[in-house]
Structure 1
Amino acid sequence: MAMTLRLDDAEAAALRTRADLEDRSMQDVAREAIREYIEHHSRRDLIDGVIDRELPNFAEALERLGR
């Protein structure tokens, strides 16, 4: 799928600098950043879901530890 990504001047310059430093295209750097963002947030959502489900099971023990 093709899409247009609009960046302000500072964002475009930073992306260009990063791509030049890594000898990669701006598109490759941007695509990797998107993949990392999705992976990071997907992992966080999974962990948050487990905590929301399991925390009530340990509420009493956590309360005792907090005293």
Structure 2
Amino acid sequence: MAMTLRLSDDEAEALRRRAEYEDRSMQDVARQAIREYVDNHSRADLLDQVLDEELPRYSEALERLGR
């Protein structure tokens, strides 16, 4: 799927410099950044979901441990 990504002049320049520094294309750097963002946020969302579901079960034990 193709898409257009609009960047400010500063963002485009920063991306260009980073791509040049890594000897990669701007597209490769942007795609990697998007993958890392999605992966990191997906893990954090999953952890939040597990904690929301499981923490109440152990609340009494956790409270005792905190004393």
TM-score (norm 1): 0.92
Q: Gaps (5+ residues) in structure 2?
A: none
Number of residue pairs aligned between Structure 1 and Structure 2: 67
Shift of 1:39: 0.5
Q: Distance in 2 between matches of 1:66 and 1:47?
A: 21
Match of 2:6 in 1: 6
Identity of aligned residues (%): 73
Shift of 1:66: 2.8
Q: Gaps (5+ residues) in structure 1?
A: none
Worse-superposed segment, 56-65 or 42-51: 56-65
Backbone CA RMSD of aligned residues: 0.9
TM-score (norm 2): 0.92
Structure 2 counterpart SS, 1:7: coil
- Runs of at least 4 residues off by over 6 Å: none
1:31 aligned to 2:31? yes
Q: Distance in 1 between matches of 2:4 and 2:53?
A: 39
